[in-house]
Amino acid sequence: MSTPESQPEKTSARGKRADAVRNQQVLLDAAGEVFVTSGIDAPIREIAAKAGVGLGTLYRHFPTRADLVTAVYRHQIEACAEAGPKLLAEADLPFDALRQWIDLFVDFLVTKHGLADALQSESERFAALHTHFLDRLLPVCAQLLDAAAAAGEISSDVRPYELLRGIGNLCIGRDSDPRYDPRRLIEPLLQGLRPHAAPGA
């Protein structure tokens, strides 16, 4: 399925009633907005109210908060994952592809701010989101990293998980602070991975 945006999403579809499908989407939209406004720990009621549905409906579609959070960010993750190979194919140098992909990744984390927080959450409840996130993005990141290493553009032994995690961390709290722009740190971090930069350490 190459265009996930074009369908009501696999979370529902199937023999469902039309209004049920519609509610699903309405809830996802509402939750996404509320997560940005009030964080992913926002009162369930607030989300249901914003969606204009009853509490029970929300619970029916997303029994746990984690289900909702996961569903909300699945799109983002999917699109990001798909961009990796494409960038690699298009770029002249693998390192450029990596840089562009991370830029995209940062875009997601920063524009849909809730995500970074969600991924950060210590709670067991978001294990599913974590898992999905890693399952989908770790291979992509690894591919890019490997390609750059194979081309001799990277000397560091940084692991994909570390990199993803670190970039994610750097993006936390970006919105609330105009003095802080994660990209101004990410660029040197990437440069630091290059071969010529490692006389010390």
Partner DNA sequence: CATGAATGAGCGTTCATTCAT
Partner DNA sequence: AATGAATGAACGCTCATTCAT
The interface partner of residue 185, options being DNA, a copy of itself, none and the CB cut-off 5 to 8 Å by kind, is: a copy of itself
- Least separation in angstroms between residue 96's CB and a copy of itself is 9
* Contact yes or no for 141/158 (Cβ under 8 A): no
* Contact yes or no for 42/49 (Cβ under 8 A): no
Sign of CA dihedral 192, 161, 85, 185: negative
Instruction: Give the span between the Cα atoms of 200 and 192, in whole angstroms.
Output: 11
- Quick one: which of 128, 130, 127 has its CA closest to 116? 130
Residue among 4, 13, 39, 52 that touches DNA (CB under 7 A): 52
* Contact yes or no for 101/87 (Cβ under 8 A): yes
**Which CB, 4 or 43, lies closer to a copy of itself?**
43
**Which CB, 54 or 192, lies closer to DNA?**
54
Report the site for a copy of itself in 165-184 (rule: CB under 8 A): 165-166, 169-173, 176-177, 179-182, 184
The interface partner of residue 59, options being a copy of itself, DNA, none and the CB cut-off 5 to 8 Å by kind, is: DNA
- Quick one: which of 189, 188, 171 has its CA closest to 180? 171
Catalog residues that contact a copy of itself under the rule CB under 8 A. 39, 95, 99, 120, 122, 156, 158-159, 161-163, 165-166, 169-173, 176-177, 179-182, 184-185, 187-194, 196-198, 200-201
